[in-house]
Chain A
């Protein structure tokens, strides 16, 4: 490391990571393409030494010959060796490609960057680019060839100029995206000028798309070069060129069609190689800084899937004052396929009950499985995720065993959903009223006018002032709080029995957050629907929810009445999470923190998932899966919770 300091302060070559070339060679397609291109270049450069025959050397005894020991790829109509002519013909082709690519890149990269980073430049560049892109390339190329005495280099340079505008657009768009990132602003705070930012921060990030486009430019240039030579323009006869050879071959196609094969194959292969090489180099560049491949999933965590069932009331034990059970989740386990094909659980053995009209909060940090639990209840798991165990009983019917159609019927009419991003639920092309009316018609089969009327009523119900006017508004006219109210109205359209709200207030301003929480409470009282609130915010949960589940690393670690958990948490994680809340902290004294972070799925230990961060950890904690202990009213997944003699015991 010390040796590297002289040139590169603070850091040498990233240790443990292969260089760009090594990464490139690890991709078989890119490595093959690179090998092929290198071979072509070597053969072209060393043609005078390596070619078995001179490019103009005629063997009139063997005209239009098929491959033989002397002529590996046969001969053309003048008895010239095809192998040798392909090698010589590669020279103008490669020079042409090089000229075009260099010219296009030299023009497009600086101009594209300037357009992205300086508004003034953009106002000039963008219209100019649009104008230039409408110029017909072939006409310009023919004019250049006529003016510059059939100079292929001039024509290819002109082609570079003509392709540059397209590339300018690519560079500009990519650079604009990067320029908006906060780290670019941070660089400006150091006093970097625009030029330095472009060079150090923007350019390295956009190398990928630029290289891919340059490889396409190269491929186009090669095809244009062969096209021009096919027309007899550019390379002066009898000098060898690939296009010229295709022309020769097509002239004698009726007598001998072999000649097209090697020539056509070389051109096609070179074009493909250029494109593959571009793809490969882009991926290899990105791999240098992108996240390394996920570590091999351990199978340890699988063993705990069949962990001990948590404490819960027996089905028949429901006292008379309890509302009927609407939702009953038992041992729910959700898993993604891991790197080795084994399922890696993200939600493990989650069980709870929710009575009609009750409110339940699920609290935890990101990566604890709250959202995935909600999605599983809705039957809307992301691609790849599967319910691998347990059951979800909705009004007594197992949702996990339902067909896709039955499941869809359940959503909206029985279970509705409100997300963190209300705008995502709204199509920008339709008015608010049209959205809700459509949902009403889907769920109730009401007529058009009736649905329309009901939509306005629903908008009034979510306390939007002037619902008639709001119904005529488009999504982009709504503020964040209004959009969330509209999303809630949409969720109410089917008259659901259960509303799952996943962080419904997180993206909103504080004052609006409180209003939305109050609205949810009011709606619950008015409609009698149950609410499952998924949130990281103790405040939100305590506002709305009677009972709370605390989740940690895929498991429920505590369940009980919200007020009890907040005042007397059973599980050390609940305790830590509450203590970490700055609202409850005393200014001037450090907050009590849990060290480290939530372990990723696949890295869960076999014992208590929280053990590594727990201040009370004992040897027994890490040995075996920990079961829920305590009462049905208030239980925790911790050895410190006194196991109740009889789990059914309720006051």
Chain B
């Protein structure tokens, strides 16, 4: 337990194409995430940030390098190992509308991962589901309702509950708040922080929004075209960016505080 929770070393992911050269989505990426820490992963579309999340979750094949979780190599974990890992590593996606199966009541969606594990009996599963719903601030009646009955913010709470129900140690969050309105986004960001403080869960927080990441992440990794261009403690990267791309990214953040009025004089 002394080492980092997640350690990625020289990871390369190439997508094969029908014709021509394969596309390199990640090229020699290395990063570590400590227990109970939030690592922000920032980059623009096409930078490979989502691919990195998928590689950790085993959703894309890895071409080179290694992923170590809690001292154990999971780079090419098989299905059985993945099933076991799913109680440790979970995921929250961006799209609160597509990330829940619309034909299943919420209770079943939440119970499903627990049933796959076959470690809890039905009664314990139910108790865990209700407890988790309460944890994310949803009423117990949620179990019988369908995704369509919930708003975007509520659905994202449900998606977080689904990740939490396994009591994971790492949650990969792929743009989990970028589809939400500002006031709902703030509610969810607070929830992420509460869960981290109460349960000691670590996050890999993938986002294009530097503002969100600056607020939430302990450490920051900046990806550009499949490579890490900068990493370090969030505040120091933010205050003293070294890479040119990071500087551009920070400069591009529209800041509500810095008003540049074009007002006409009286």
B window 81-133: CB within 8 A of A:
82-86, 89-91, 93-95, 98-105, 107-116, 122-123, 125-126, 129
Question: Which of A11, A201, A580, A598 is within 8 Å of B144, CB to CB?
Answer: A11
CA distance A181 to B190 in the complex (A): 27
B contact residues around A583 at 8 Å (CB): 211, 214-215, 253, 255-257
Residue of A nearest to B107 (CB): A11
B235 near A14 with CB under 8 A, answer no
Q: A192-B116, A510-B44 are in contact. Are A539 and B86 (CB under 8 A)?
A: no
A12 near B214 with CB under 8 A, answer no
Is A339 positioned at the interface, with any CB of B under 8 Å from its CB?
no
A contact residues around B189 at 8 Å (CB): 582, 585, 591
CA distance A193 to B90 in the complex (A): 17
B contact residues around A510 at 8 Å (CB): 44, 208-210, 249, 252-253
Is B23 positioned at the interface, with any CB of A under 8 Å from its CB?
no
B window 153-210: CB within 8 A of A:
153, 159, 162, 166, 181-187, 189-190, 193-194, 208-210
B contact residues around A590 at 8 Å (CB): 190, 193-194
B186 near A542 with CB under 8 A, answer no
Residue of A nearest to B122 (CB): A9
B235 near A587 with CB under 8 A, answer yes
A contact residues around B223 at 8 Å (CB): none
A190 near B249 with CB under 8 A, answer no
B contact residues around A579 at 8 Å (CB): 186
Is B237 positioned at the interface, with any CB of A under 8 Å from its CB?
no
CA distance A183 to B162 in the complex (A): 11
A contact residues around B57 at 8 Å (CB): 185, 188-189
Residue of A nearest to B100 (CB): A183
Residue of A nearest to B245 (CB): A511
Residue of B nearest to A5 (CB): B122
CA distance A472 to B137 in the complex (A): 54
A542 near B259 with CB under 8 A, answer yes
B contact residues around A52 at 8 Å (CB): none
CA distance A191 to B74 in the complex (A): 13
Interface size on A, residues (CB 8 A): 80
A349 to chain B, nearest CB (A): 23
Residue of A nearest to B265 (CB): A321
Residue of B nearest to A357 (CB): B264
B contact residues around A7 at 8 Å (CB): 122
Q: A289-B102, A514-B254, A578-B256 are in contact. Are A10 and B107 (CB under 8 A)?
A: yes
A contact residues around B243 at 8 Å (CB): none
A290 near B259 with CB under 8 A, answer no
B contact residues around A477 at 8 Å (CB): none
Interface SS of chain B:
helix
Is B21 positioned at the interface, with any CB of A under 8 Å from its CB?
no
Question: Which of A185, A365, A539 is within 8 Å of B59, CB to CB?
Answer: A185
CA distance A365 to B90 in the complex (A): 30
Is B19 positioned at the interface, with any CB of A under 8 Å from its CB?
no
B137 to chain A, nearest CB (A): 10
Q: A9-B122, A590-B193 are in contact. Are A190 and B113 (CB under 8 A)?
A: yes
CA distance A517 to B193 in the complex (A): 32
Is B263 positioned at the interface, with any CB of A under 8 Å from its CB?
yes
A580 near B262 with CB under 8 A, answer no
A contact residues around B146 at 8 Å (CB): 14, 288-290
Is B240 positioned at the interface, with any CB of A under 8 Å from its CB?
no
A629 to chain B, nearest CB (A): 24
Interface string of A581-601 (1 = CB under 8 A from B): 111111100111111011000
Residue of B nearest to A178 (CB): B101
B contact residues around A561 at 8 Å (CB): 261, 263
Is A566 positioned at the interface, with any CB of B under 8 Å from its CB?
yes
Question: Which of A186, A513, A585, A586 is within 8 Å of B252, CB to CB?
Answer: A513
Is A396 positioned at the interface, with any CB of B under 8 Å from its CB?
no
Q: A14-B145, A187-B112, A591-B186 are in contact. Are A514 and B100 (CB under 8 A)?
A: no
Is A450 positioned at the interface, with any CB of B under 8 Å from its CB?
no
Is A405 positioned at the interface, with any CB of B under 8 Å from its CB?
no
Q: A5-B122, A597-B151 are in contact. Are A562 and B259 (CB under 8 A)?
A: yes
B234 near A542 with CB under 8 A, answer no
A289 near B148 with CB under 8 A, answer yes
A542 near B258 with CB under 8 A, answer yes
Is A646 positioned at the interface, with any CB of B under 8 Å from its CB?
no
Q: A9-B115, A185-B91, A521-B262 are in contact. Are A15 and B104 (CB under 8 A)?
A: no
A182 near B143 with CB under 8 A, answer no
A582 near B215 with CB under 8 A, answer yes
A contact residues around B114 at 8 Å (CB): 9
CA distance A186 to B105 in the complex (A): 16
Question: Which of B59, B123, B193, B211 is within 8 Å of A581, CB to CB?
Answer: B211
B contact residues around A216 at 8 Å (CB): none
A contact residues around B149 at 8 Å (CB): 291-292
Interface string of A287-322 (1 = CB under 8 A from B): 011111000000000000000000000000000010
CA distance A595 to B266 in the complex (A): 41
A190 near B112 with CB under 8 A, answer yes
A contact residues around B89 at 8 Å (CB): 189
Residue of A nearest to B45 (CB): A509
CA distance A292 to B259 in the complex (A): 45
Is A328 positioned at the interface, with any CB of B under 8 Å from its CB?
no
Is B80 positioned at the interface, with any CB of A under 8 Å from its CB?
yes
B256 near A10 with CB under 8 A, answer no
B contact residues around A594 at 8 Å (CB): 183, 186
Is A538 positioned at the interface, with any CB of B under 8 Å from its CB?
yes
Residue of A nearest to B182 (CB): A580
Is B79 positioned at the interface, with any CB of A under 8 Å from its CB?
yes
Is A556 positioned at the interface, with any CB of B under 8 Å from its CB?
no
Q: A566-B259, A580-B183 are in contact. Are A537 and B143 (CB under 8 A)?
A: no
Question: Which of B110, B144, B215, B254 is within 8 Å of A513, CB to CB?
Answer: B254
CA distance A187 to B89 in the complex (A): 13
Task: Give residues in A with beta carbon < 8 Å to B.
Answer: 5-12, 14-16, 181-183, 185-193, 200-201, 204-205, 288-292, 321, 359, 365-366, 480, 509-515, 517, 521, 524-525, 536-540, 542-543, 546, 561-563, 566, 576-587, 590-595, 597-598
